[in-house]
Structure 1
Amino acid sequence: MIENINGKHETVHFKEHNAIKMYLNDEFEDYPEHWHTPVEIIFPIENHYMVSCGNVDYHLKEEDILLITPGTLHRISAPKSGMRIIFQVDLSFLNRFQDIDSAISMLAPAKIITPGTMPSIYEDAKKLILEIQRECLEAAPLCDALAFAKIAEFFVLLGRECLCNNLLFDVAPTKHQEYTEKFLNICDYISAHCAEDLTLDDIAGRAGFSKYHFSRLFKQFTGETFYKFLNTKRIAYAQNLLIDPGLSITEIAYLSGFNSISSFVRMFKALTAYTPTAYRQLYHS
């Protein structure tokens, strides 16, 4: 299934004007640790499948759905027999829509959708997966466009479940929608400006809250403190820069918003379990 790999980086080639590759995969083959820019969706239809993302192992049963976000190192172990649907999708088209980047980043590094983990959306998500498969297999007019439209619907469904339905803002119910939109915008802003000198006071003021009230609401929304969220974005930004061998570790530290090489290395290892040098070697080994 892996067509072109250099080190640990898999290059996915899409057909012209198409942003989805689908595989009906029945290979008895393990895939080594690798990463790619497209998102990946795995849906076993016969037998189990095991996928490891970082330090987390996902033991997929039949009709479980696993989404792996872009840039995530993962490896796959296959049983001696079985079948699974695998999609690789270029989501760059969706990035023009407000909130999509924040929604996808909150799914990182992977999200599993089962009747137990997400009962309210599982059946709809499964139906979309099967509809996308059908459109990819058919040669009907506009089948590619319809398949991608259903991919977009899949992400809206999953994004709303993760961003809205499980929110526990400590505010009146009438304020939930307002606060959801406000904090989505704040997360988008942090993502876009993470390499800049952002402070809790500045972002709280931008949101219109005191820093203490903002900190509490931000933790309720993201599950993380402001600085943990900011540093996670900075490290993700640094991970992309580390792919370029022409940039030194020191340059990457400052380009990613860190004030010292020591704080960068410490935070990078805390969030990835690798030093920046060791992480770079993963992609160029």
Structure 2
Amino acid sequence: MDPRVLARLRQYELIEIEQKKTNHHVDDLPNNAVNKQEKQGQILNDYFFRNRDVYISKHSRFADYPEHSHQFLEMNYMLSGTCNQVVDGQPVHMNQGDLLLIDVGCPHSIKRLGENDILINLLFRDKNISINFLNDMSRTKSVLYEFLINRAAGENNSIKYLLFGKNVDNDINKTMEDIITEYYSKREFSNAIIKSYLSILLAKLVRHYHVSPTSKDPQQQIIIKILKDISEDFKTLNLTKLAKKYGYNKNYLSNFIKKETGDTFSSLIMKQRLINAHTLITSTTMPISDIIDSIGMKNRTDFYKKYRDYYHNNPGSERQ
């Protein structure tokens, strides 16, 4: 990392000087940057993104930071030292090089940082970016992958944060530090370069985040097998065929899938088709009409509507 940028980050900010004297948090946020709600503490809004797509700041040292949440997605990067947080009610410890991805609306608080603890906050402007956006970038994503991601946080819960350790891959750290250097160097075209770096960073995070099924619950093992069938045979699979394979009554199986995944069988099939279409649209030059045929759909209008509903974008716009 650029030593000049690192030296700058180690310097005391005015708020840090005050917090070091008192050991108490000093709130320097303007009123129009915060929406206050009693149960969730401070909720930070889009104030930070005036004339920029990404906002980066150093977290102030020497005092605890109270619980808060955001209307945007946040990354915390431990540039040096360590820190302790409470994220969505769970204790999280970060070492140098660790990266914490926190979803929209997830409450977290940060314990006091010491002299050598440099924590960088990276905020996304687009409120539609969420953990699901990260999942969608995976070229190997399937309904099984999505299910296991959610199960990693516990039964029927959605995961609100992901912690990436430094030992995952050093090029994640390099990309993150390139973003920080570009941001603080304030050179021409820095906003465009940072956005490009960010896409690379997210792709690398997806590449290195894996969830393995560990439950021995027989029902969960069955649903995992069913979801694998869907991911591999989404073009022709139907509920009758699936019920026969597992020896279930068709109606029972339908209810079982809905109970275990929160989605109907037809919704899971459609989701997998859209995921595969998205992969082909973003990674090949295959005509969209051919992609529609390849995923087992016949109605072009229906495909476009469902694709927009799922990805919040038109298929053609993905290639621009």
- TM-score, normalised via structure 1 length: 0.53
Of structures 1 and 2, the larger Rg is shown by 2
Deviation string, structure 1 residues 45-83 (Cα, Å, up to 9, x no partner): 232111111232111112211111111111111234232
* SS at 1:210 equivalent: helix
1:210 matched to 2:257? The reply is no
State the match for 2:187 in structure 1.
140
Structure 2, unaligned runs of 5 or more: 1-26, 151-158, 215-226, 247-256, 264-320
How many Å separate the matches in 1 of 2:192 and 2:241? 42
How many Å separate the matches in 1 of 2:238 and 2:128? 32
1:87 matched to 2:122? The reply is yes
Deviation at 1:132, TM superposition (A): 0.8
With over 3 angstroms needed to count, the CA separation of the structure-2 counterparts of 1:12 and 1:92, relative to structure 1, is closer
1:161 matched to 2:196? The reply is no
The 5 Å alignment of 1:59-138 reads 59-81=93-115, 82-92=117-127, 99-100=136-137, 106=149, 108-116=159-167, 119=168, 122-138=169-185
State the match for 1:21 in structure 2.
55
How many Å separate the matches in 1 of 2:113 and 2:129? 34
Deviation string, structure 1 residues 4-29 (Cα, Å, up to 9, x no partner): 33132122423444221111234222
How many Å separate the matches in 1 of 2:127 and 2:178? 22
> Does the CA contact (< 8 Å) of 2:73 and 2:129 recur in 1?
no
How many Å separate the matches in 2 of 1:59 and 1:160? 23
From 37, 43, 46, the equivalent of 2:71 is: 37
Structure 1, unaligned runs of 5 or more: 169-178, 187-203, 215-224, 232-285
> Does the CA contact (< 8 Å) of 2:100 and 2:162 recur in 1?
yes
From 149, 152, 171, the equivalent of 2:199 is: 152
- TM-score, normalised via structure 2 length: 0.48
State the match for 1:230 in structure 2.
262
The 5 Å alignment of 1:164-203 reads 183=231
With over 3 angstroms needed to count, the CA separation of the structure-2 counterparts of 1:19 and 1:58, relative to structure 1, is same
How many Å separate the matches in 1 of 2:171 and 2:94? 18
> Does the CA contact (< 8 Å) of 1:66 and 1:111 recur in 2?
yes
Deviation string, structure 1 residues 225-261 (Cα, Å, up to 9, x no partner): 7645428xxxxxxxxxxxxxxxxxxxxxxxxxxxxxx
With over 3 angstroms needed to count, the CA separation of the structure-2 counterparts of 1:226 and 1:27, relative to structure 1, is farther
Aligned length: 186
From 91, 107, 119, the equivalent of 1:57 is: 91
How many Å separate the matches in 2 of 1:161 and 1:20? 23
Percent of pairs with identical residues: 14
* SS at 1:63 equivalent: coil
In structure 1, give the amino acid aligned to 2:172: A
With over 3 angstroms needed to count, the CA separation of the structure-2 counterparts of 1:13 and 1:65, relative to structure 1, is same
> Does the CA contact (< 8 Å) of 1:27 and 1:78 recur in 2?
yes
